[in-house]
Amino acid sequence: MRYSLFSLARNALTGHRDWQPAWRDAEPKASYDIVVIGGGHGLATAYYLAEKYGLSNIAVLEKGYIGSGNIGRNTTIVRSNYLLPGNIPFYELSMKLWEGLEQDLNYNVMVSQRGVLNVFHSDAQRDAYARRGNAMRLHGVDAELLDREGVKKLYPFLNFDNARFPIQGGLLQPRGGTVRHDAVAWGYARAASDRGVDICQNCEVTGFRIENGQAVGVETNKGFIGAKKVAVSVAGNSSRVMGMAGLRLPIEAHVIQAMVTEGLKPIIPGVITFGAGHFYISQSDKGGLVFGGDLDGYNSYAQRGNLPVIEDVCEGGMALMPSIGRARVLRHWGGLLDMSMDGSPIIDKTPVGGIFLNCGWNYGGFKATPASGLCFAHLVATGEPHPVATAFRLDRFATGNLIDEKGQGAQPNLH
């Protein structure tokens, strides 16, 4: 059933008791043409495989339920304010897909282009942001460099007179903003399911079956599932899953925490990031302030963090906007990240025939979902990398073609 004003009115008349489940809860068949592992980017991948590349006979295997993994553990921010040529076209494609996603999926994912502002505090930082803004504009991405007065006009409540980190201006991407993360998972699941994709929840992959260097299927807790192609997109657990195929990856698993306060009246219209420390904040449509900062900095699969980072993040928030000091934090949580060695993702074939890999999503995971799904679908369907994802090679560390957006080199615990 397509959602429309008419369907809303009809269901309102019957007391909203007749809505159908958004997607079919499928049991896995014995074999598929393509098995996608992971119900985050994997749902987007399956959708584009069906929609753009006309393929069917696809399954998405999710070890928990849809929305239980990293797709529900991020801070919902979308932006394409990147610097390097390997990154900008990719994230801009993602931004463009976000802009049309509700029409594509016939699902309200609550795309809200409320603007992303990166605040700067020094001449050196201004130069760096001016360079970034120029790089963005050269790639056709919107960017505005604001001076102190410009930021003051936009957000008068920020602490402009902080003795240590006075705000001198900011780089604004007006098209950036937030998207409701759960709705993205549900919307892609519904659209993929409508196109014949089987979405198998609580189906954990426990191994690969590989014959003569060619994958023929996966072992799961629901038995063996045959597959001509296996598409792995399990960011957070990529090392574990690919370890079952005998591969070591340039990745460490780290945890990043995020927090949300009690619901408040609207006070923060857009997304603000604090350039001096690492802190970013936005307000959800329910009113909670959603914010986060650095990773905990050590290997972790715990999906929960530690207090020193929470303290550090909250200090950053207080330095930027002391007005939020009385807000009470309701919840905090940790999500797992694939910290790759240069902080950039990997979308590539693997040395094992028939196994494709989409991993290395750390700070860029949620905002990348549509482009990641599209590019991965292109790779799986055609065997060739998508034109905007050619730099995301698995062997780029060996060949020296790193995409070191943060300029911190091979230090996954620093990104």
Partner 1 sequence: MRLPCPYCGSRDLSEFTYLGDAKLKRPNPDGENAAAEFFDYAYLRDNPAGPHKEFWYHAQGCRSWLTVERDTRTHEILSAVLSSGAKA
Residues forming the site for partner 1 (CB under 8 A): 237, 239-240, 243, 248-253, 297-302, 306, 308, 341, 397-398, 410, 412-413
Q: How far is the CB of 308 from partner 1 (least distance, A)?
A: 4
CA dihedral 61, 66, 80, 322 (to 10 degrees): -140
Q: Residues near 187 by Cβ (< 8 Å), separated by ≥ 6?
A: 101, 102, 105, 107, 108, 109
Please spell the DSSP secondary structure of 354-390, one letter per residue: TEEEEE--STTTTTTHHHHHHHHHHHHHHSS--GGGT
Q: How many CB atoms lie within 10 A of CB 21?
A: 8
CB of 272 to partner 1, least distance (A): 26
d(CA 377, CA 347): 10
Give me the amino acid identity at 159. N
Q: CB 233 → partner 1: shortest distance, Å?
A: 17
Q: Which residues contact 181 (CB under 8 A, 6 or more apart)?
A: 71, 72, 74, 76, 366
Least distance to partner 1 from the beta carbon of 127, Å?
A: 30
Asked if residues 78 and 98 have their Cβ atoms less than 8 Å apart, the reply is yes
Q: What's the min distance (Å) between Cβ of 147 and partner 1?
A: 37
Type of residue at 36? V
Q: Which is nearer to partner 1, 224 or 397 (CB)?
A: 397
Quote the Cα angle for 254-83-188, to 5°.
60
Least distance CB 242 / partner 1 (angstroms): 10
Judged by beta carbon, residue 273 or residue 358, the one nearer partner 1 is 358
Compute the distance between CA of residue 201 and CA of residue 190 in angstroms, rounded to an integer.
14
CB 53 within 8 A of CB 378: yes
**Cα(101)–Cα(177) distance, rounded to whole angstroms?**
14
The least CB distance from residue 116 to partner 1, in Å, is 30
Q: How far apart are CA 42 and CA 59, in angstroms?
A: 10
Helices within 167-211 (DSSP H only): 181-194
Token pair for residue 222?
């629901």
**Minimum CB–partner distance for residue 413 and partner 1 (Å):** 6
Question: 57 vs 306, which CB is nearer to partner 1?
Answer: 306
Q: In the complex, what is the shortest distance from the CB of residue 185 to partner 1, in angstroms, rounded to a whole number?
A: 23
| Tokens 């799986």 belong to residue | 380
